[in-house]
Structure formats: C-alpha cells, structure tokens
Amino acid sequence: MGKDKITLIRILGIIGALIWALTILLRDVGIINNGFIKFLLGIAPNFAVGLLIPALIIICYPIIFKREILFKEFILMLVGSYILILSSEIVHDRFLNSSFDILDMIASLIGFVIIASVYKYIKI
C-alpha cells in the first residue's frame, strides 16, 4: 500500500477522532435545541468510530506484525469490530435500559465502508 493511501487513511482516522471528540463536547454543553442537530449528534460518534477503528487497524497492523495487512485480514478484522459494536448495542438494550439503535449500526457501517473503499479501490 502506498504512502499516499496510508496518509489518506490516517487523515480519515483523525477526522473520525475529531468528530467523536467534538460530538461528545457538544452533547455535554446542552445548548442544542434543534431536533435534526440532536439526531446528528446522536449518530456522529458511531460514524466517527466507523472511521477510526479501521484506520487504527491499518496503521497499527504493520507495526505489530512487521508486514502490510492483506485485504482479507482487514475485512475479517472489520467484521470482528462490527460484531463488538453490535454486542455493545445489545448490552445497552438488554442491561442498561437504553434502546437498540439500528441507525448507530448503520452509521458505523458507513464509516467502515468508506475506509475499506479507500483501502481497496483508491489508486494513489
């Protein structure tokens, strides 16, 4: 994988981290009254994690294993990550009196698909 592609994936990961942090800060302020903005603030952390997790996998894998990650390995790790996110939603639904939110799952999946598409299809 080329340095430019890795740089793009790192930038997307940083964007994910910034979205997550900004969302958490804006949620805690409590001055947002617009329903649509509240909706976006509700799903934004999941989208952000959908960008951040795959970026971290691609960045950390070569450091740990001393070789580039294969696309099949990357997809398996994304599936495992998605199962953990699904498990978290189920735990929140069953044990923490919070509802299962399919939109959170979709937002995470969109982030995963963006990074996987950059990894697989962007030629730089």
Work out how many domains the chain is built from and give that number: 1
What's the Cα-to-Cα distance from 119 to each of 29, 41, 61, rounded to whole Å?
36, 27, 14
pLDDT in tens, 32-49: 788 888 889 889 999 999
pLDDT in tens, 76-122: 999 999 999 999 989 988 998 888 889 999 999 999 999 999 999 88
Answer yes or no: are the C-beta atoms of 4 and 121 closer than 8 Å: no
Radius of gyration of the chain (CA): 16
Q: Domain containing 117: what range?
A: 3-121
